[in-house]
Amino acid sequence: MEQKHESLNTLNNKIQSETQNQSTEYFQEEVNPTKKELSPSPSSSPKNKKKSEHLNDNNQFNKSKKNLNINFIKAIFTFANSHLAIPYLKPLLQKEEIKFSDFTSFIHQYKPSVNGIYALLSMLVEDKSNNQKIVACKRIFKALSEIFIKFFSVNWIFHGKVENKQLYLDYRFKLLRRIQNPQEYLSK
C-alpha cells in the first residue's frame, strides 16, 4: 500500500513540475514575443483599416455628389407634372394666362434636354428671343421649382432611396439660390 502511495506522490510531483514548466514557457512568450508577432501584416494594421474605410466613404460621397444634380432635376420635373403641384399651379397659370396643356407640353419638351444644373439654369433664364408663352412657362416652372425645394424636398429626401441624406439636405439651399438667380450662376 505504501508503494502505491509513493507512486501516486511521484506521479503528482511530475504533473506539477510539467505544468509549472509549461506556465513559465507561456509567460516567457508573453513577456518576450518574437519579432514576427510585433510587426503586423500591412492589411491588418489599424491605419490601413482607417484608410480603406475613408476611401470607401469618399467613393460613396463622390457617387452621391455625382447624381445629386440629376436627382434633384428629375424630382423637380416630376413634381411640376404631378397632382401635388396643381394647387400651386392653378393661381400661377391664371396670373400668367397660360393653359395647363401649354405648360405640360413645355415640361415634356424640355425634360429630356435638361441633364445637368447648367442646362436647368439656362432653361430658366428668360431670353429676348423667346415668345411670351415660353417666358410665362419659364416663370411658372421657376416658381414650382422653388416651391418643391422649400416645401417638398425634405420629404422626398427622407422617404426616397437617397443614401447620403445630409448631403442632399445641405445642397437644397445652394440649388434654391441658383434657381432664384440663374443669371448670376451662369455668368460665372
Structural domain contains residue 87? yes
**Which residues constitute the domain of residue 84?**
60-186
Alpha carbon distance 70, 115 (integer Å):
6
Q: Is residue 139 part of a domain?
A: yes
Evaluate whether residue 12 is within a structural domain: no
Q: With respect to residue 179, please indicate whether it lies within any of the assigned structural domains.
A: yes
Q: Which three cell numbers stand for residue 181?
A: 438667380
Residue that wins the pLDDT comparison between 64 and 92: 92
Distance from C-alpha of 73 to C-alpha of 67, rounded to nearest angstrom: 10
Q: Across 19-28, 37-46, 61-70, 111-120, which has the greatest mean pLDDT?
A: 111-120
pTM score > 0.85 for this model? Answer: no
Q: How far apart are CA 185 and CA 114, in angstroms?
A: 16
Distance separating alpha carbons of residues 129 and 13, to the nearest angstrom = 107
Q: Is the pLDDT of residue 88 over 80?
A: yes
Total of domains in the chain? 1
**For position 85, what pLDDT does the model report?**
96
Count of all residues that appear for the chain in the document? 188
User: Is 8 part of a structural domain of the chain?
Assistant: no
Has residue 22 been placed in a domain?
Answer: no
**Distance from C-alpha of 54 to C-alpha of 158, rounded to nearest angstrom:** 25
